[in-house]
């Protein structure tokens, strides 16, 4: 397929603010590709080249993209940077300069999606001496042949900043519209369930093209991560019982981070809830699994909790969060910041999916196959009861031991990947906090000069991000004191996409937990709301943009804030 055809689809998607219209546009494009052998073109339609479970990155900086664009068009780096500062979008700069190329190549040829895909995938494999030049060559080859509109979206894809407003929901619905019956709600659920099990839209698209029965046959794939089941909030113990029934299972809600443990063909892989593989960062967990769990293939859901190796006291998540992306000094970090694995569910065992098995049966299987060892691998602490006083005592015990609260589960419930379902709830002390993503930042002045110290944060609405305020308190001045402005600046600088005075726009990748006093309506931000007295509580490297608060959650919390103020 001609790459230009895909780019014209991008243009239509970018120009349309309507979610339904975007779905229609993408569905029409997918219909044209139904007979294509390679369904991976659906990745390109999202500005990606890999399925969601593969979190490798192309690794192209703005500076490298500028050099490649200069080489392909003959426009100097300085002129490109000048235009970038003026326009604020390197993709639009590429469109402008590519439309007025000073040089053409004898080797220039019409771009196809296959060629684009081929070159972009090669970027992932390059390493060692001469890597930068090789990357430049692959990118320049594409840009030399690109028209203005093609250059625009090539650059945006390379920088992983496509700006067409297509989220997971639009892709899912487009597959239904293109391949199935859009009037049948069950078929939307089938596509969503298939994606939640595989986190691979190319596979889901291929199955959907073959029909409903093919989709129904999709099962868990050992070795691949899946989207973990999520829990809505309970207001109280009595509210939890009312929603999940009696008796119910109460388990500690640990102050750690989710680990999806996957063993297949003697290979162990560890994934976070945002599908990042962190196996290399936690070699001790791999050894615990090999030593303490019976079975040749399984998928477990668990929580890694940090503890002090000297005092044996459990530590807050923030203490061990730095291990998630650690690439160096892994052995030393493992000794200084060890983790205990608390296993609470099993989804697959010895060739069989357990998703539809009642939770109580899944727990019994865990008790059979896991040999627990304190500070290494244990089963989540649990209570089964129909008594509110017993449940309340267990809840207080969890809090006294430094955990976040409790999880409440229905005994006979299945496991629903990716869903916030009513048969699993979370209960923790009332607090006003939201997970939000940073979209802009501002350089500080005075003693904070050189640091990015004020952050514009956003919630999500389908495929869009809506700003909800600025936060500039909560971080420390010195790195030795904890999460600091210096640390945040190091995280944000590589993500800068444009600058205007002291303010920069950044790729929406850094998720933070923001505390606040209340939420009020405000025309100052695109969400229509603003946080009063916001503060950064902690950085959440285990969360992605898909995990941040939705506008619906903001509206509900705003209503609570309003009622509180009225009372």
| Residue 490 resides in a domain | yes
252 Cβ contact list (under 8 Å, min separation 6): 342, 380, 381, 398, 401, 403, 406, 407
Q: What are the beta bridge partners of residue 499? A: 504
| Residue 163 resides in a domain | no
CA distance 82 to 493: 19
CA distance 139 to 118: 11
| Residue 185 resides in a domain | no
Phi, psi angle pair for 410, to nearest 5°: -75, 135
Q: What is the DSSP string of 65-88?
A: HHHHHHHHH---HHHHHHHHHHHS
Instruction: Output the domain CATH number for residue 506.
Output: 2.40.50.140
Instruction: Output the domain CATH number for residue 115.
Output: 1.10.3260.10
List Cα–Cα distances, 32 to 6, 26, 175, 425, in angstroms: 11, 10, 12, 43
Q: Are residues 329 and 363 in the same domain?
A: yes
| Residue 531 resides in a domain | yes
Q: Are residues 412 and 471 in the same domain?
A: no
The residue to which tokens 């593989």 are assigned: 277
| Residue 196 resides in a domain | no
Q: Are residues 366 and 441 in the same domain?
A: no
Sheet with strand 424-427: strands edge to edge: 382-385, 248-253, 405-410, 424-427
Closest CA to 477 of 446, 507, 508, 501: 446
Helix (H, G, I), strand (E, B) or coil at 545: helix
| Residue 75 resides in a domain | yes
CA distance 141 to 121: 14
Q: What is the pLDDT of residues 159-173, one digit of tens each?
A: 888 888 888 889 999
Q: Are residues 260 and 322 in the same domain?
A: yes
CA distance 329 to 440: 32
CA distance 515 to 119: 44
Q: What are the beta bridge partners of residue 459? A: 466
CA distance 31 to 33: 5
Select from 363, 394, 427 the last residue of a domain: 427
Q: Are residues 271 and 420 in the same domain?
A: yes
Phi, psi angle pair for 349, to nearest 5°: -150, 125
| Residue 195 resides in a domain | no
Q: Are residues 394 and 308 in the same domain?
A: yes
Helices and strands (DSSP H and E) totals, the chain: 21, 19
Q: Are residues 422 and 453 in the same domain?
A: no
Q: Are residues 27 and 148 in the same domain?
A: yes
Q: Are residues 263 and 124 in the same domain?
A: no
- Cβ atoms of residues 273 and 543 within 8 Å: yes
Select from 123, 158, 193 the last residue of a domain: 158
Phi, psi angle pair for 496, to nearest 5°: -65, 130
- Residue 527: DSSP 8-state: T
What is the span of the domain harbouring residue 487? Answer: 433-566
Instruction: Output the domain CATH number for residue 325.
Output: 3.30.470.30
**Entry pTM:** 0.78
Active site residues: 253
- Cβ atoms of residues 442 and 448 within 8 Å: no
| Residue 217 resides in a domain | no
Phi, psi angle pair for 14, to nearest 5°: -65, -35
Cα 321 to chain centroid, rounded: 16
Pairing of strands 339-349, 377-379: parallel
> So what's the pLDDT on residue 10?
96
> So what's the pLDDT on residue 6?
95
* Tens digit of pLDDT at every position of the chain (567 positions): 899 999 999 999 999 988 899 999 999 999 999 887 778 999 999 989 999 888 788 878 888 999 999 999 999 999 999 898 888 889 999 999 998 875 455 455 789 999 999 999 999 888 778 888 899 999 999 999 999 999 999 999 998 888 888 888 899 999 999 999 888 889 999 999 999 999 999 999 999 999 999 999 999 988 888 989 989 889 899 999 999 999 999 999 998 999 999 999 889 999 998 888 999 999 999 999 999 999 999 999 999 999 999 999 998 887 888 888 788 888 888 899 999 999 999 999 999 999 999 999 999 999 999 999 999 999 999 999 999 999 999 999 999 988 889 999 999 999 999 888 878 999 988 667 899 999 999 998 777 778 898 999 999 987 789 999 999 888 887 666 667 888 899 899 988 888 888 899 998 999 999 988 888 888 889 999 999 889 998 899 888 888 899 998 888 887 765 443 433
Select from 128, 158, 188 the last residue of a domain: 158
Q: Are residues 49 and 152 in the same domain?
A: yes
- Cβ atoms of residues 258 and 542 within 8 Å: yes
- Residue 381: DSSP 8-state: P
- The total of structural domains in the chain comes to 3
Helix (H, G, I), strand (E, B) or coil at 195: helix
CA distance 259 to 301: 6
Q: Are residues 437 and 419 in the same domain?
A: no
For 346, other C-beta atoms within 10 Å of its C-beta total 25
The residue to which tokens 């599908």 are assigned: 275
Helix (H, G, I), strand (E, B) or coil at 447: helix
The residue to which tokens 């509580």 are assigned: 537
349 Cβ contact list (under 8 Å, min separation 6): 295, 297, 298, 299, 365, 369
Q: Are residues 362 and 470 in the same domain?
A: no
């Amino acid at each position: 397929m001609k790459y230009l055809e895909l780019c014209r689809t991008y243009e239509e998607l970018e120009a349309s603010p309507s979610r339904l219209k975007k779905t229609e546009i993408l569905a029409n494009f997918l219909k044209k590709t139904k007979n294509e052998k390679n369904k991976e073109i659906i990745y390109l339609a999202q500005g990606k080249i890999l399925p969601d479970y593969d979190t490798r990155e192309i690794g192209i900086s703005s500076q490298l993209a500028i050099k490649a664009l200069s080489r392909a068009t003959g426009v100097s780096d300085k002129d490109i940077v000048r235009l970038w500062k003026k326009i604020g979008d390197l993709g639009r700069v590429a469109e402008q300069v590519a439309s007025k190329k000073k040089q053409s190549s004898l080797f220039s040829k019409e771009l196809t999606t296959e060629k684009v895909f081929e070159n972009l995938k090669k970027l992932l494999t390059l390493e060692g001496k001469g890597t930068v030049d090789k990357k430049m060559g692959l990118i320049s080859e594409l840009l030399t042949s690109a028209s203005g509109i093609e250059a625009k979206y090539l650059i945006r894809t390379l920088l992983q900043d496509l700006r067409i407003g297509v989220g997971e929901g639009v892709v899912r619905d487009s597959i239904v519209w293109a391949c199935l019956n859009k009037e049948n709600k069950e078929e939307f659920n089938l596509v969503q369930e298939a994606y939640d099990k595989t986190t691979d839209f190319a596979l889901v698209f291929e199955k959907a093209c073959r029909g409903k029965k093919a989709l129904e046959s999709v099962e868990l794939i050992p070795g691949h991560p899946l989207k973990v089941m999520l829990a809505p909030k309970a207001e109280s113990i009595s509210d939890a019982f009312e929603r999940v029934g009696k008796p119910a299972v109460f388990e500690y809600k640990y102050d750690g981070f989710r680990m999806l443990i996957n063993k297949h063909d003697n290979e162990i892989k560890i994934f976070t809830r945002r599908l990042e593989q962190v196996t290399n960062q936690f070699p001790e967990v791999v050894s615990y699994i090999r030593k303490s769990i019976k079975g040749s293939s399984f998928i477990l859901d668990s929580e890694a909790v940090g503890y002090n190796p000297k005092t044996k006291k459990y530590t807050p998540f923030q203490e061990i969060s730095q291990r998630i992306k650690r690439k160096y000094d892994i052995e030393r970090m493992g000794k200084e910041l060890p983790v205990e694995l608390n296993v609470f569910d099993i989804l697959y065992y010895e060739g069989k999916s357990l998703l539809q098995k009642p939770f109580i049966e899944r727990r019994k299987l865990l008790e059979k196959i896991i040999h627990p060892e304190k500070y290494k691998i244990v089963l989540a602490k649990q209570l089964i009861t129909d008594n509110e006083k017993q449940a309340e005592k267990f809840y207080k015990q969890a809090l006294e031991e430094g955990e976040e609260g409790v999880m409440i589960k229905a005994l006979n419930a299945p496991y629903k990947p990716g869903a916030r379902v009513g048969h699993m709830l979370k209960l923790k002390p009332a607090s006003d906090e939201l997970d939000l993503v940073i979209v802009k930042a501002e350089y500080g002045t005075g003693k904070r000069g050189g640091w990015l110290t004020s952050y514009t944060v956003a919630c999500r609405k389908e495929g869009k991000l809506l700003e909800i305020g600025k936060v500039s308190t909560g971080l420390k001045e010195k790195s030795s004191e904890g999460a600091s402005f210096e640390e945040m600046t190091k995280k944000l600088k590589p993500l800068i996409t444009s600058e205007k005075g002291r303010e920069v726009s950044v790729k929406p990748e850094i998720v933070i937990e923001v505390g606040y006093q209340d939420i009020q309506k405000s025309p100052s931000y695109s969400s229509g709301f603003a946080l009063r007295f916001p503060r950064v509580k902690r950085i959440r490297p285990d969360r992605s943009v898909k995990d941040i608060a939705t506008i619906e959650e903001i509206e509900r919390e705003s209503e609570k804030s309003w009622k509180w103020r009225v009372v």
